Structure 1
Amino acid sequence: MEIGISTFVETTPDVETGEVISHAQRLREVVEEIVLADQVGLDIFGVGEHHRKDYAASSPAIVLAAAASQTKRIRLTSAVTVLSSADPVRVFQDFATLDAVSNGRAEIMAGRGSFIESFPLFGYDLKDYDELFDEKLELLLKIRESEKVTWRGGHRPAINNLGVYPRPVQDPLPVWIGSGGNTQSVIRAGMLGLPLVLAIIGGRPVQFAPLVKLYKRAAAQAGHDVSKLPVASHSHGFIAEDTETAADKFFPSTQQAMNVLGRERGWGHYDRSSFDAARNFEGALYVGDPETVAAKIIHLRKNVGITRFMLHVPVGSMPHIEVMKAIELLGTEVAPRVREEVAKWEGEQ
C-alpha cells in the first residue's frame, strides 16, 4: 500500500487576512513539502497542472524536478497532466528528463482535467474535448514504446520516423490514467493496461468499488495481468494531533475554495454541515487524527481495492507550517499504521 500527497499549489486569498502569497513563494513552499514527504517515508507526491491565477503550478514537471535533487526515494508525478491541451512529445520529454534527474522516479498521470482554461490558452476547441484526449494518449503511448515514432492524427502535425529524446531511466515510463469516475475512462484504462487513479472527492468512497471491478474486468478481457495493475485514489484531507483540531483548521480554506468553484460550476453552497457529513467514516473527506485517517484508508483498501492513496492537501490556502505538520503525521503515524494493517490483512486472505 503506497501513501502520498497531491496538491494543486493553490494561491487563494488567506481566509482570515485576505492576503495572497506570490506564485513564487508558494512554489518554493511546495518544494519544501515534497522534500519533507520524502524524509518522512511517503511513497509518492503529485502536483496538478492548472492555468489560472489561483493555482501556481502550470508546469508540474519543473516543480517536481526542483525537488528531485533534494529527495532520494519518493516518486514524483503530475496530478494530472492535462493531456488534451498538451503536446505529447513535449510531455514525454519533460517527464523523461525528470526521470533522469530523479534516477527513475517520475510518473505521468494523464487526464482530461476538470478545468478548461488550458484549451483556449493553447488554441484548442472544447468541442474536441474527448477526441483530443484519445488521440494524444495514443501518441504518448507510442512515444513511450519506441524511440523512433511514425504517427498521424487529426489535431497535431504528423511525425515521420523521428526520434524523441531523452529516453527515460524507466522502461516503460509509468503512465497512469486519472478519472473522476467516468465509466468509459475506467474501461479505456483497463483495455490499455494502464494504472488507474480515481478522484474520490464526494459521496461514499465504497461506491467506487464497482468501477474498480469494471476496470479490472476490462483489463483481464484485453489480456492484461490484473495483478500488476495498481489502482490509486486521491481525496481531500488533513491531519492534526486530534480530530476536532484537524476539522477546525481544514474547514475554512476548504469552504472558501469549494464555494469559489461552486459559483463557477453551479454547485450548492458548501457549509460546515456538508463538511462534517463528508468526514464521517463512510465519507470522502480524510480529516482527523492519525488513527482516524489511517482507519479510513484501511477501509478503502479492503472495500474498494485501492493500492495507492494520495491525500490532497491543502484545499485552498493554508499556512505552510500546518501543511508541513499534516505531511509529517501522514508519513510518521498514518502510513505505518496502514501498511502494518494491510500487510496483516493480506496475509490472512
Structure 2
Amino acid sequence: SMRLTTDNPLHGRTFNPWHENASPGGSSGGASAAAAAGFGPIHHGNDIGGSLRCPASNCGLSTVKPTFGRVPTYLPTAPVERGLLAQLMSVQGVICREVRDLRLAMKVLAQGDARDPFWMPVPFDGWPQEPAPLRVGVTTEAYGHPIHPQIHSAIERAAGYLADAGYAVEPITTPSVDEAAQGWFRYLGAELETFLMPVAREHGSETIQQIFEWYFQMGEVATADDYRVGIKERSAMTRQWNLLLETYPLVLSPYFLQPTPSWDCDAQSLEGTRELFDAAIYSTGINWLSLPAGVTPIGMVEGLPTGVQLIGRRFREDLVLDAMAAIEARVGMLVRELWQRPDMA
C-alpha cells in the first residue's frame, strides 16, 4: 500500500508483463499485471493517491477513479475507522483492458450498500443530454516539474483523437494541480503518520519502513491546527474546479509526467522518491479534490505503456468513459501488442 510499485516479503514483487524491470504500478499492481497478462476481464483495485490509475497507465489498461460516494466502501477487517481525509479520498474501482468492460463493472459497483454512510444514490446513466459539441479543456502544465516530451506529445495526440470524435477541444488554464498535490501530501501525511506508521513500524518490511521515512522527510506534515486549515483549503480548491467543470465538463491532462518507472523506483533514494511524487501531481492532486478521473492508454513511451487522464464533473463518470472510449477507438486495445510479441507466445 502507498507505493508506486507492488512488492511484499511473503511472495516477492509483482512483475509488469511488458518488461521485467518495469513497475506494474501500485498499490493495485497485482490487478494490473493480471489484466495485462489476460487473466479475466475485470480486476478490482482502490485509489487514494493513484492506486488504480498508476497500475492502469503502467500496464496499458483503462480505469476510472470514481467520485467519492459513487461506489460504496466497507472493510469489515479494519480494526478502526479511517481518518477523515482517507475516507474522503479513497475510492474503489476496477482495472480493465477495454472501456466497455470498465463501464459495465462500474455500473455494478455503484449499487448501494447501507454499510457505507457516504454512498450517494446518484444515477449512472440517464443524465440530461449535454449540449453538443462537448467541451474538453486540455492542459499540459507541469508547474516547473520536468515533463517528458513524449508525454507532452501524447496529450496532443489524445486531444486530436477527441476532436476527430466530435469534441470541442481547447487549451485551458486550470486551478493549480500542484497546490492540490501539495495539500494531499501535507494533510493526508498527518493521518498516515498517526494511523498507518505505527502499523508499518510493527509489521512492515525494512523497505516499506524506509520509504515511509522518506515520505515524511520530503515535506512538512501538518500539525493538528494546520490540518483543520487544510480541510478548508480543500473545499476552496474543489469549488474552483467545480466552476471550471461547469464550462468544460472534461479536462484532458497527463497522468504521470514521466515514462513508466522501474519496479524499485521508490526504494532507491530520498531524492528519487521525491522525483516520483513530482511526476505524480496529476494523480495525487485529483485525489485531493475527490473528482472522478479516468486513465486510458495512449501508446508507448520509451518502450512501455503510458496513459492519459480525463477529469470530469462529480458523478459524471459516464462522460469520462465516453471520452475514454473515443480515444480507445483510435488506439485500440493496447495489450494486443503485448500478446503478439514472440516472447509472449
TM-score by length of 1: 0.25
Name which structure has the greater RCO, CA cutoff 8 Å, separation 6+. Answer: 2
- Structure 2 length-normalised TM: 0.25
